[in-house]
Amino acid sequence: MHPAPRALRRAVAATTIALLATAVGCAPQPEEKASDAPSGSAAACAKGTLATRTSGKLTIATDEPAYEPWFKDDKPANGKGFESAVAYAVAQELGYDKSAVVWQSVPFNKAFAPGEKTFDFDINQVSISDERKKAVDFSSGYYDVRQAVIALKGTKAAKATSIADLKGLKLGAQVGTTSLDYIEDVVKPTRDAAVYAKNDQAKSALKNGQVDAVVVDLPTAFYITAAEVTDATIVGQFENQGGTPEQFGLVLDKGSALTSCVTKAVDTLRENGVLAKLEQQWLSDAVDAPVLK
C-alpha cells in the first residue's frame, strides 16, 4: 500500500481538527459555581451558599464580655442588643437562619490585627478607618457613631463645656479604639492618656478617681451612666472629624470573598429601614448630648 499523497494527508488532518473543534463547541459547559462568579454578583451572593469557613454555617465573632447596649446579658447568641440583632439580620439577608449562626469569641484588638481570621465576620463596635483597612476588609457602615466624655458628677471634669476644658485632665480610654484617638488627636491633653485593655477597667479607674474622665462611644456612655456608674454623667460629645461620619463596620479577612456580599446585605438593611428600626429599639437612649468644641 502506497503512502497517501502529502496534500491528501493535510486535507484529512484539517478536516479532523475542524470536527474536533465543532464537537468541543457543542459540548455542555459546566455550571458557574457561586464561588467562581464575579464578586458581588447575584450568583456569588446566592443565599445560604457562600464560601464560608464552615459550609452551611456563618461564623460571627465578637469580644468577651459582650457589653450592653450592643449585646444583652453577655450572650451574643440571644439576638438581644443592637449588634446581636444586626448580626442576625445580616445573616438572614445572606440566607443563614439563626440555627446556622456560630458565635466565636475574639478579643477587640485581634479582630482587626493583621493575619488570617477564624471568623466570617466580626461585629464589635469597630470603627472603619484607612489604617485598619490595610490589615482587614470592612463592610459598609452599619452605625454612625460619635465619641463622648463621661465623668463623675460634681467634679471639675463634669463641668467641662469645651475641648479646652479637657486639656489639663487625666483622661482614659480602651486601647486600640477611636475613643483613644480622639483623646490624643482632638483633645491633645497635657497629661498622657490612661490606656486600658477593656472598658471595664476604664470604668473602674473612673470610679476610683484614677482618671478624671473616660471617652467611649455615645451609646455606651448612656448605658454606663444609666446602669453601671450611676454617679457619673455625660459631659458631652465630640463632633465628627472631617467630612465623613465615623461608622462601625463588620470586619472581614483581608481580601475575603464575602466582603462584597456582606456589604450588599448591610446596604439592603440600611435602605429598607431595618437598621434604623434596630437602632431605635436598642439604642433609643442615645439621644443628643452637648457638643464639645
Q: How far apart are CA 266 and CA 258, in angstroms?
A: 12
For residue 157, the 8-state DSSP code is G
Which ranges of 95-152 would DSSP assign to H, the alpha helix? 108-111, 130-133
- Predicted local confidence at residue 178, as pLDDT: 93
**Which value, to the nearest 10 degrees, does the dihedral of the CA atoms of residues 60, 65, 70, 74 take?**
90
SS3 140: strand
Q: What single-letter amino acid sits at 252?
A: L
Co-location of 77 and 90 in the same domain: yes
Q: Supply the DSSP string of 2-16, one letter for each residue.
A: PPPPHHHHHHHHHHH
Whether residue 284 is predicted with pLDDT greater than 50 in this model: the reply is: yes
Q: If you average pLDDT over residues 21-40, what whole number do you get?
A: 41
Co-location of 78 and 216 in the same domain: no
Whether residue 256 is predicted with pLDDT greater than 60 in this model: the reply is: yes
SS3 36: helix
- Predicted local confidence at residue 27, as pLDDT: 39
Element (H, E) at 252: strand 247-253
For residue 166, the 8-state DSSP code is G
Q: How far apart are CA 83 and CA 282, in angstroms?
A: 9
Q: How far apart are CA 208 and CA 220, in angstroms?
A: 19
Among candidate residues 219, 238, 257, the one where a domain is terminated: 238
Co-location of 118 and 199 in the same domain: no
Co-location of 175 and 112 in the same domain: no
- Predicted local confidence at residue 289, as pLDDT: 84
Q: If you average pLDDT over residues 230-235, what whole number do you get?
A: 96
- Predicted local confidence at residue 286, as pLDDT: 61
Ranking 16-25, 74-83, 87-96, 283-292 by mean pLDDT, the lowest is 16-25
Residue 18 domain flag: no
Ranking 114-118, 201-205, 283-287 by mean pLDDT, the lowest is 283-287
**Closest among 235, 234, 217 to 225, alpha carbons compared:** 234
Which ranges of 35-105 would DSSP assign to H, the alpha helix? 82-94
Co-location of 139 and 276 in the same domain: yes
Among candidate residues 238, 258, 276, the one where a domain is terminated: 238
| Grid coordinates belonging to 163 | 475641648
Co-location of 259 and 234 in the same domain: no
14 pLDDT band, cuts 50/70/90, is very low
**Closest among 203, 181, 204, 184 to 192, alpha carbons compared:** 184
Residue 65 domain flag: yes
Q: If you average pLDDT over residues 142-161, what whole number do you get?
A: 96
Q: If you average pLDDT over residues 122-143, what whole number do you get?
A: 96
**Closest among 238, 231, 227, 113 to 173, alpha carbons compared:** 238
Residue 34 domain flag: no
Whether residue 5 is predicted with pLDDT greater than 60 in this model: the reply is: no
Residue 107 domain flag: yes
Whether residue 23 is predicted with pLDDT greater than 90 in this model: the reply is: no
Q: If you average pLDDT over residues 232-259, what whole number do you get?
A: 91
> Domain containing 156: what range?
147-238
Residue 8 domain flag: no
Co-location of 204 and 189 in the same domain: yes
Q: How far apart are CA 69 and CA 221, in angstroms?
A: 10
Co-location of 174 and 232 in the same domain: yes
Residue 21 domain flag: no
Whether residue 160 is predicted with pLDDT greater than 80 in this model: the reply is: yes
Q: How far apart are CA 217 and CA 145, in angstroms?
A: 7
Which pairing describes strands 213-217 and 194-196: parallel, antiparallel, or unpaired?
A: unpaired
Residue 221 domain flag: yes
Evaluate the omega torsion of the peptide bond into residue 3 and state whether it is cis, within 30 degrees of 0. no
Whether residue 293 is predicted with pLDDT greater than 50 in this model: the reply is: yes
Q: At what angle do helices 82-94 and 259-271 cross, to 10 degrees?
A: 110
3 pLDDT band, cuts 50/70/90, is very low
Q: If you average pLDDT over residues 179-193, what whole number do you get?
A: 96
pTM for the model: 0.79
Element (H, E) at 264: helix 259-271
For residue 68, the 8-state DSSP code is T
Residue 46 domain flag: no
Co-location of 63 and 185 in the same domain: no
Give how many domains the chain has, as a whole number: 2
